[in-house]
Amino acid sequence: MNKTVLITGATSGIGLACARKFAENGDRLVLTGRNEARLDEIRQELTGKGTKVITLAYDVRDREKAKKLVSELPDAWQEIDVLVNNAGLALGLEPEYEGSLDDWEAMIDTNIKGLLTMTRLVVPGMVARNRGHIINIGSVAGDAAYAGGNVYCATKAAVKALSDGLRIDVADTALRVTNLKPGLVETNFSNTRFHGDKERASNVYKGIKPLTGDDIADVAVFAANAPEHVQIAEVLILATHQASGSVIVRK
């Protein structure tokens, strides 16, 4: 059965990869992101391949706009089957006592509050229908802090706790909750973290073959299509030469 899949942060990286993979799976998509022009490009790309797509341009930090746009989805699109809470970012790699308050606020408001906003807007309908799947994009950083990761690691630890808590809350329903925890994935992630310093960002992936957005999207689609009695609760996905958030062998 084809599903209606809502993906946040769908204009690049893991979010865009998820959009393409769910489209290949025959699902229809509600894609959100801050860059309206980029959303339009992606919509044209996917609709050209036969996928039904609606785009919603907003920042997940803007709770009122998120609420307005999600509530205004056409009636035929109101029943979201899969919510992929992907929107998130890391900013800075300074020691905690030297970090930017603005960076911290952006990470907390996006990675935690944005995820909660979308969960609050979409999951009640899933509960009422007794059908749905929430896929949160966490991180290996949520398992243990690494040097300079402090607040970002804390936000991803929160994603794990929120995923676990939601799974408990819906255990009496047919809903499923999955927390995907990628390690090194080569996307725009590091470029954002280092505020556009491309050289510093590229060094993150030197000497190791990192994961791609497609690698993570493959797992998301697999989890969403597991048999109804199977709940893939948590998956840690690492590059072959990465053992944890802080142990990486470069060659």
User: Do the beta carbons of residue 174 and residue 128 sit within 8 Å?
Assistant: no
Rounded Cα distance, 95 and 49, in Å? 46
Q: 194: how many CB neighbours lie within 10 A of its CB? A: 19
Q: Catalytic pick from 97, 146, 152, 205? A: 152
Contacts (Cβ under 8 Å, ≥6 apart) of 175: 123, 126, 127, 130, 131, 132, 133, 134
The tokens for 114 are 């944005």
What is the number of H-type helices and E-type strands within the chain? 9, 7
Identify the three-state secondary structure at position 44. Answer: helix
Q: Is 58 a catalytic residue?
A: no
Contacts (Cβ under 8 Å, ≥6 apart) of 16: 10, 42, 213
User: Do the beta carbons of residue 169 and residue 113 sit within 8 Å?
Assistant: no
In degrees and rounded to multiples of 5, residue 29 shows phi and psi of -125, 140
User: What is the dihedral angle through the alpha carbons of 40, 47, 190, 202, rounded to the nearest 10 degrees?
Assistant: -110
Active site residues: 152
